Amino acid sequence: MELCARKDVPEEQKWDLSLIFPEEKEMWEALDGVKEKVKEFAETYSGKLDTAETIVRCLDEMGDLLPAMYRIWGYSELAVEADYTDNALRERYEKVSDELTRMQTALSFVDSEILLAPDVVLDAAVELAKGCRVYLKDLVARKAHMLSPETEKTLAALGRSFEVPYSIYNTLKLADMDFQPFTAGGKEYPLGYSLYEDDYELEGDTEVRRAAFRAFYDTLKKYENTTAAAYNACVTQEKTMSELRCFNDVFDSLLFDQKVTREMYDRQIDVITERLAPHMRRYAKLLKAKHGLDRMTFADLKIAVDPEYDPKVTIEESHRYVREGLAILGKDYTDMVDRAYKERWIDFARNVGKSTGGFCADVFRQNSFILLNWNDRMSDVFTVAHELGHAGQSMYGDRAQSFYDADPSTYLVEAPSTMNELLLANHLTSTSSDPRFRRWVLSSQISNTYYHNFVTHLREAWYQREVYKIIDGGGSVNAEVLSDIFRRNLELFWGDAVEIPEGAELTWMRQPHYYMGLYSYTYSAGLTVATQAMLRIRQEGQPAVEDWKRFLAAGNTEDPVGLARIAGFDITTDGPLNATIDYIGSVIDEICAITKEIDGICV
């Protein structure tokens, strides 16, 4: 189980970044080319953005330059994500980032100069614009929060230093953190970040699982102060920016680009905390009874209801599962799934220095790249389906929209991905009438899809909101404060049903999303829309599938409320969220009923 070095990973388990550039030298050539174009662009447009026609032409041209820059960035960044211990790759990435930051600085005049134009010119430009229309409208809406062109230029030049807290967090976590082996039942086990998150946390053997928990959190504890300092720097910076840009508070500033109201944000956190808790506590009680545990602790929450029904899955088999699970979305969708496997869009490997968790990165109008840590479990198949959901959204969005409009607001970014998890679960339950199999699928839906998005990330969201309240009030945070908030958070949600052992409060150290503003809560927002859409597809079939694809293709051309409307739902009310929580409750009820039938256990 020891992790291997990146160089020892078999080719077929790695993504193929040569799809972006066949060799590194092509990337440097592309970089030189785009650098030249940025220079020409700045010479052409700087100081001349005073008519509607010029503004639109300038933005359209920039819409071609930006994807070329992101391509270069993606090529060098993704290589680092796969191996943070490779100093040569990191050096290359630094060099590329420096060059791109310089280009971004050179382009920073565009937004500020456009906003200097009189309103009548701006209105005419919005009328005239096609691919850059939403971008322009958003820019005008941001006018009150823009600083002088000189200041904007300075901020753009300093752009990379804003990323320092996140970079420290990642380096600490992926390169410096030193996990020692631990023992359980007289046997020694190796430990690592992703080994814990992808393996031990789900381990069926209680002694091993709890020993791993202690060893993992004991190691985190050694790094709590540095992690807290990096995080404090990040949120303080966000607060400073919100003040400089004249937002009411840091929440308004962070929600502004998502086009989400504070009410929608708060509702997601408050309603779930209150209404989902009783269902999840019942689920925790079921796990305790089913496994005959002496007590239910935070370290036991991720075990499967019926671990024997958690068969090993190979990467080849995952292809078939995902393909069949998503077949309802049509041939163009399954073609994409096939290409992802055949052309090696996915990095399955588990190696030293690789980023934990999973993500999907799109190269505009080409293909997406997916990073995950494959562990032969069915939950990994759900991860593949999830990440391919992002890839599918990019595919439709890239085809139908300009670079500016291809991706939806963060609020809905997790809808296409979680939708795929639900479709896969739906498909699996339809393939067998065996109650044990059905329980296994339903409980994976709870322990993977809903646990991850409605519990893990939502607890993070609750915690984040408390942190930002402190920061907004002029305070700062340190490890003690953060641990205290997180413990309160877990105790509030789990009540008497789950014991929160020493160390669990350090869970705030585990999530990179905190460095991306108000992101954590959006998982549940996306899954709310996905759940309703899945239930609609179940009931109505094809018309609901078509609406879903229109939703995917709409990209960022509407705000979240408008996008959800395309999929068929009104998210200005709490109706979809409450219906989703009811659905989760009904799934847990069914798992309990099947367990009563099979094992005679009642909770």
Binding site for Zn ion (CB under 5 A): 417
Q: What whole-number distance in Å separates Cα of residue 448 and Cα of residue 378? A: 10
Instruction: Specify the residue, 421 or 547, whose C-beta has the smaller distance to Zn ion.
Output: 421
Q: How far is the CB of 172 from Zn ion (least distance, A)?
A: 23
Instruction: Specify the residue, 417 or 528, whose C-beta has the smaller distance to Zn ion.
Output: 417
Q: How far is the CB of 383 from Zn ion (least distance, A)?
A: 9
Which helix (H) or strand (E) segment holds residue 367: the answer is strand 367-371
- Bridge partners (DSSP) of residue 360 are 370
Instruction: Specify the residue, 59 or 419, whose C-beta has the smaller distance to Zn ion.
Output: 419
Rg for the chain, CA atoms, rounded: 24
Instruction: Specify the residue, 298 or 369, whose C-beta has the smaller distance to Zn ion.
Output: 369
Q: What whole-number distance in Å separates Cα of residue 81 and Cα of residue 409? A: 24
Instruction: Specify the residue, 410 or 489, whose C-beta has the smaller distance to Zn ion.
Output: 410
Q: How far is the CB of 413 from Zn ion (least distance, A)?
A: 7
Q: How far is the CB of 207 from Zn ion (least distance, A)?
A: 33
Instruction: Specify the residue, 168 or 419, whose C-beta has the smaller distance to Zn ion.
Output: 419
Q: How far is the CB of 462 from Zn ion (least distance, A)?
A: 20
Instruction: Specify the residue, 318 or 417, whose C-beta has the smaller distance to Zn ion.
Output: 417
Instruction: Specify the residue, 401 or 417, whose C-beta has the smaller distance to Zn ion.
Output: 417
> Are the C-beta atoms of 261 and 521 separated by less than 8 Å?
no
> Are the C-beta atoms of 532 and 576 separated by less than 8 Å?
yes
* Closest residue to Zn ion: CB criterion: 417
- Other beta carbons within 10 angstroms of residue 133's beta carbon come to 19
Q: How far is the CB of 386 from Zn ion (least distance, A)?
A: 6
Instruction: Specify the residue, 197 or 574, whose C-beta has the smaller distance to Zn ion.
Output: 197
Phi, psi of 164 (to 5 degrees): -60, -45
- Other beta carbons within 10 angstroms of residue 181's beta carbon come to 12
> Are the C-beta atoms of 46 and 113 separated by less than 8 Å?
yes
Instruction: Specify the residue, 227 or 417, whose C-beta has the smaller distance to Zn ion.
Output: 417
Query: Three-class SS of residue 47?
Result: coil
End-to-end CA distance of the chain: 36
CA atoms within 13 A on the CB side of 12: 5
- Bridge partners (DSSP) of residue 370 are 346, 360
Give just the sign of the alpha carbon dihedral 130, 136, 140, 141. positive
Q: How far is the CB of 239 from Zn ion (least distance, A)?
A: 27
DSSP 416-444: HHHHHHHHHHHHHHHT---HHHHHHHHHH
Mode of pairing for the β-strands spanning 187-189 and 346-347: unpaired
Q: How far is the CB of 456 from Zn ion (least distance, A)?
A: 13
Q: What whole-number distance in Å separates Cα of residue 396 and Cα of residue 215? A: 44
Biggest CA–CA distance in the chain, Å, is 77
Q: How far is the CB of 455 from Zn ion (least distance, A)?
A: 16
Which helix (H) or strand (E) segment holds residue 51: the answer is none
Q: How far is the CB of 522 from Zn ion (least distance, A)?
A: 10
